[in-house]
Every structure is written in structure tokens, then in C-alpha cells.
Amino acid sequence: MTSSDIPPSDDPAATPDAPAEGGKRPALDEKAPAVIALRILQQIVVEARRDQAHKVYAELDLRKLNDLQVAMAKNPADQSAVQWLRQMALGWNTKLRGNPALRFRRMFDMIDQARR
């Protein structure tokens, strides 16, 4: 089975826990507010990927979240990564119409803490 035979939903590169380039996972401070918000958004997007209406958006955003994870590993105080995260969270809040409201509220609180 080649990588082109793997369905997109089973592609390990599309999951938020996939190793970064080079095969190593970036070391993140899992207690940092921006990283907590990143993890919450990853969970929301992975769940939304199951819905056919959101599948394409979820695949693209999971790739961007992996890039943000690498950026946050290099510089935990990267305000541009936090801004990207905030914009993506706002977009998913709109797409899902605030469906998991408590998770979105917590995620925005973490993003606001990271921006200070």
C-alpha cells in the first residue's frame, strides 16, 4: 500500500499528533496558554473532520495547526502564531456556530492570556 492509497482521514500527516518535519516532535510547554488553546482547537478540528461539510477545511487547518505547533516550539512567545491561532479559532467558531461553546470560551481565554 502506497501513501497515495491511504484515505485522507487515515493519513498520519493530517493528524495533529503527527511528528514534525525530520521525524521529531517539537518540544512544547504543554502548560502555556497558547499551547492549551492549540490543543483545544486541534480536538475541535479533528472532530469536525468527520463531518463531510467541514472535511476539506479541517484537513487544511490541521496542516496549518502543525505549522503553528512547530513555530510555538521554536518561540513560545511568538505573537504571530498566537494571532494565526486566534483567527483560526474565530473561523471555526463561525463554522460550527459555537456548538462546543465551553471549549471555545476556554480556548479564547487561553489565547487572550497568551497575547498579554
Q: What is the pLDDT of residue 106?
A: 87
Q: What is the pLDDT of residue 87?
A: 95
| pLDDT tens for each residue of 50-109 | 999 999 999 999 999 999 999 999 887 789 999 999 999 999 998 888 677 888 888 889
Contact partners, residue 73, CB within 8 Å, separation at least 6:
20, 26, 27, 28
C-alpha 92/C-alpha 104 separation (Å) is 9
- For the full predicted model, state whether its pTM sits above 0.85: no
Q: Is 97 left (phi over 0), alpha (psi -120 to 50) or beta?
A: left
C-alpha 54/C-alpha 9 separation (Å) is 12
Q: How confident is the model at residue 25 (pLDDT cuts 50, 70, 90)?
A: low
Q: Is 98 left (phi over 0), alpha (psi -120 to 50) or beta?
A: left
- The domain limits of the chain are 30-115
